[in-house]
Structure 1
Amino acid sequence: MNKNIDAMLINPYDENALKNALGFIAPPMNLMYLASSLENESYSVKIVDDDLLQMGYENVSEMAEKLNPPVVGVTATTSTIKSALKYVEMIKKILPESLTVIGGPHATFMPFETLNSSEHLDVVVRGEGEETMVDILDQSFQEVPHLDNVSGIVFRDYKTGNLKSTPERPLIKDLDSLPFPARHLVPFESYAASKEQTAGIITSRGCVYSCNYCSSSLIMGKKFRSRSPDNVVDEIEELIDKYQIRDFGFMDDTFMLNKRRANDIADEIKTRGLDVSFVASSRVDRVDPGLLQNLKSSGMKTIYYGVESGSQRILDLMKKGISLKNAEDAVKIAKNTGLEVLTSFIIGYPGETKDDINKTIDFSIKLEPDYCQYSILTPFPGTPIYNELKEKNLIDNEDWQEYTVLKPLLKYEKMGLNKKMVERKLAAAYLKFYTRPKYLLNHRYMFKVMLQTVLRSFIIPKLRGSTSNGWYQNLDK
């Protein structure tokens, strides 16, 4: 074993404007899962969350030089892939013998492009990484490493210079077999956005649905895999006992897909007498009064619904598989149960008209959720909509740093819209929802936070570059 650190795992800095305006940075759950799996095999791991620490490329590279890890892994989304490759480049120059690895959704769907983007990158991990990283570490300590024996990767063969792809790795069937995330490897108290410390928990993987804008089912599989209620609540108890955390969020794509399991988790929390508070998400067609009441009695305070559009025609184009009535009923059930409701919507979807966008804004207000989130359609690599738009040459920008869900990236002029109008509608949506007198009376604190978000992310930048026409006055045009 290396006398210092066997693996250094890096979460790159993310310049996402909305996240920074809200002051929200979450611990890198994926890296904590990789780390716990490696530690379970007696490897020593260092997690560097530069999104939190903001040390910068040079300081992180200097840390790597001191630790001298044989393997350096970086996670990356589409918007952070360029940043991730920069860490790899600088560390590889200092530690040329280290094995550099990148994983995450972007690299999973664009492994060859990612490797071709940097000669300093050795390996791309596709899909779930826990078992793959253990195998990579195992090979790195062999006298003659054979990456050909590691399933689920694309790697650079330095003897030939060719890129090689190994067979796809089967998805992990027994999620209970995974050790809990290595939260002890991050400065957990530093992530608190308020006095109350929170944490995320992933209780399932995989999605059986086929929404056109989402890649979850392609990364984690179309089959729903879940942890047992006992295992989930064991992790909740660890959060309470080890980290004194009683406020958390279930981060699953489809937490309530199996209603019986969701009820069983609620029952187990109550059976153990745990005093907790949590948020969970659900499709609008997967809730009922009994389920939500049981979850509320076990500690649920807020439910998140991905509604996405106020136009049935656009929902059908998205292949969302829900109706507007489903959304109305789901919000009503949650409110009647006494839960706070957060809804999310996408504007600028291909085929959408200005009238459709207005319908979405009006519908989001009609539902009267407690909080609302809006974003611009972003065609992330790996999603069906990316492939469709790419084939039709309708993607205007593949500068991955721009993929923040806040910027129009399509050739809207060919679709009867225009980029400036889509940007204005995004700002208008936030302003119309959060500046209503009725809302202000009931949600004063949240209004302040969201107004800061709108000002920092949309209005101030536009006013600085606006003409005498008055951008703010033209939000509705």
Structure 2
Amino acid sequence: MKTVALVNPPARGVVIRDYFCSKTSQASYINPPVDFVCLSGRLAERFEVRLVDAVAERLSTAACRARIQQLNPEAVIGLTGFVSWDRDATFFESLDLPVILLGDILLENPEQRLADNPWADAVALDFTADDPVRYLLGARDSLPSMAYRRDDAIIAPDPARSSVYTFEIPVPLHELFLHLDYRYPFVLGKPFASVLTEYGCPFNCGFCIMGQLGHKSRPVSNVVPELEALRKRGVRDIFFMDQTFGSETNRTRELLDALSQFKPRFRWLCFSRVDRANERLLPDMKRAGCHTVIYGIESADDTLLKTYRKGTTQAQIRATFAAARRCGIRTVGTLLFGLPGDTVASCERTIAFAKTIPCDFISVNIAVPRMGTPMRADAVRRGIVPAGLDRMDQSGAFIAMQAGDFTADEMLRLKKKALREFYLNAPFVARRLRGIRSLDQFRIETRQGISLLRNFLKGG
């Protein structure tokens, strides 16, 4: 059986390339790339599948290249992104192997990216589809979610959104990932697994790529065998990578019922919205094992939220965070600074707002003009960013877009202020220490806390 290597290439520091999002890790966390998780089961039906994650394994460029050469794969499927494109391209070209690429930088005009990089063979734009497997088996027609070479031509992907609203995948090869040093600040133990039950997002926030991917979900009957396989391997902790857990109420309740059948319960966290994982759904999520929900607060400016079609308000945020606290579910609020129309004053109000709600953690990101988003199209039209901009990092490691009355230094100052005022105080530290329930959790929180402090002192 021929071998296919899933490769997350070497990077400077801890770089995340996952689910069409690339960035520098703010607290040295890195989770199993859900792109590779979903692909692994499909590939395993026809190929020997091997994983080389140079970031999680801390491999040098030479060591990573040697590992791949030792595997002697038929082809490589590689992750890339805005945050590391030039370095990634140099590495993949050096392999002299057929390469299929996945990444946020490829979402716009992938056929031109292939034309400019003759070493790359194809681009996959949907890691839940079977197109990459069919391509590796020799198909060169009817691959709508890929850009690829056929003879002397480059075939562009179908620009229309998929009309498919459900999808199924074979049970992923989680065993490829469980032994590596993946870590995430909000999981309660290790090893943990990345699980995807919905692809894309049914909402269309103007700054986010997920709504532009379309939306489809797995039948719960397809998810349960994956959960059973994880249980057999002794995995108790799950990170659901759905971008809006709870988007389909009836299906979500069916999934929660299935999760509740496992004894002992899985311990899990997820992303959601305050108008979906709300006071009506949170009690059932808690009973099914949920311990943490990551919500996008983004801004305390309701006008800005409306401009970017977030569809939520301060009142909803307050109500849902209070409901989560009553249920005993921890909350993470993500803040987004630097949207066009944002100001220093509105960011100051967002910081103050985050401190007034019962939020357990915050994550502060800098707005970046992601390819395929309405915000990018508008920013290019208004001359805020050049059309060819292809280097960005939402962690703030460098500033790709300056809008409104911001300077790059002011954005970083506000980010640092938010982290300082939220985290560097005695009540927060005491609350976190009281919440630790295991040695694993103590190790995880200590490691992430040290990384956060180190980044804070560096000004990140």
Match of 1:216 among 202, 210, 215: 210
2:225 to 227, 231, 234: 234
Shift of 1:326: 0.6
Task: Please state how far the C-alpha of 1:149 moved relative to its aligned partner.
Answer: 4.9
Change (3 A) 1:138 1:63: same
Root-mean-square deviation (CA, aligned residues, Å) is 2.8
- Secondary structure of the corresponding residue to residue 275 of structure 2: coil
Counterpart residue number, 1:437: 426
Name the CA distance, whole Å, in 1 between partners of 2:388 and 2:449.
Answer: 30
Whole-angstrom distance in 1 between the partners of 2:373 and 2:255 = 31
The answer (yes or no) to whether the contact 1:28–1:49 under 8 Å persists in 2 is no
Do the aligned residues in 2 keep the contact of 1:78 with 1:105 (CA within 8 Å)? yes
SS in 2 for 1:231: helix
Alignment pair present for 1:422 and 2:427? no
Instruction: For 1:399 and 1:56, locate their aligned partners in 2 and report how far apart those are by CA, in whole Å.
Output: 28
Structure 2 Cα separation of the partners of residues 297 and 273 of structure 1: 12
For 1:89 and 1:373, how far apart are their aligned partners in 2?
A: 35
Which secondary structure does the structure 2 equivalent of 1:289 belong to? coil
Distance 1:379 1:166 in 2: 22
Structure 1 Cα separation of the partners of residues 413 and 143 of structure 2: 48
| Distance verdict in 2 for CA 1:24–1:359, change over 3 Å | same
Q: Kindly indicate whether the alpha-carbon contact (under 8 Å) linking 2:300 and 2:349 is maintained by their aligned counterparts in 1.
A: yes
> In the TM superposition, what whole-angstrom CA distance separates every residue of 1:222-267 from its partner, at most 9, and x where no partner exists?
x4x22233433332221111x2111112110111112222222222
Answer whether contact 1:156 1:164 (CA < 8 A) is retained. Answer: yes
- Tell me by how many angstroms 1:327 deviates: 0.3
Equivalent residue, structure 2, for 1:35: 40
Deviations 1:248-297 (A, max 9, x none): 12110111112222222222222344422111222111234342111111
Query: Per the alignment, in what secondary structure is the counterpart of residue 374 of structure 1?
Result: strand
Contact 2:7–2:78 at 8 Å: present in 1 too?
A: yes
Q: Which runs of 5+ in 1 are unaligned?
A: 93-97, 140-145, 463-477
State yes or no: 1:325 paired with 2:324: no
Instruction: Normalising by structure 2, report the TM-score.
Output: 0.86
Summarize the alignment of residues 372-387 of structure 1 with structure 2, pairs less than 5 Å apart.
Answer: 372-387=362-377
Contact map agreement 1:408 1:422 (CA 8 A) in 2? no
Per the alignment, residue 124 of structure 1 pairs with: 123
Q: CA deviation at 1:109?
A: 2.3
* Contact preservation (8 Å) 1:201, 1:248: yes
Structure 2: distance between partners of 1:415 and 1:272: 51
Summarize the Cα distance change of 1:454–1:186 in structure 2 as closer, same or farther, 3 Å threshold: closer
Q: Could you tell me how far apart the structure 2 residues matched to 1:217 and 1:226 are?
A: 14
The more displaced of 198-207 and 439-448 is 439-448
* More relative contact order, 1 or 2 (CA 8 Å, 6+ apart): 2
Q: Does 1:370 align with 2:360?
A: yes
Distance 1:60 1:441, change over 3 A: closer
- Give aligned-pair identity as a percent: 21
Which structure dedicates a bigger proportion of its chain to helix?
A: 1
The aligned counterpart of 2:77 is: 73
Q: Distance in 2 between matches of 1:433 and 1:281?
A: 21
Alignment match, 1:468: none
* 1:117 shift after superposition: 4.0
Task: State the Cα deviation string for residues 15-74 of structure 1 (Å, max 9, x = none).
Answer: 45786552322112211322210212x222222111212323333333333433232221
Q: Distance in 1 between matches of 2:159 and 2:206?
A: 23
The residue matched to 1:409 in structure 2 has which SS?
Answer: coil
1:257/1:286 contact within 8 Å kept: yes
- 1:287-330 CA-partner distances (Å, limit 9, x unpaired): 34342111111211112211111111221222101111010001
Q: CA deviation at 1:90?
A: 0.5
CA contact (8 A) 1:305 1:343 kept: yes
Aligned partner of 2:450 in structure 1 is 452
The TM-score with structure 1 as length reference comes to 0.83
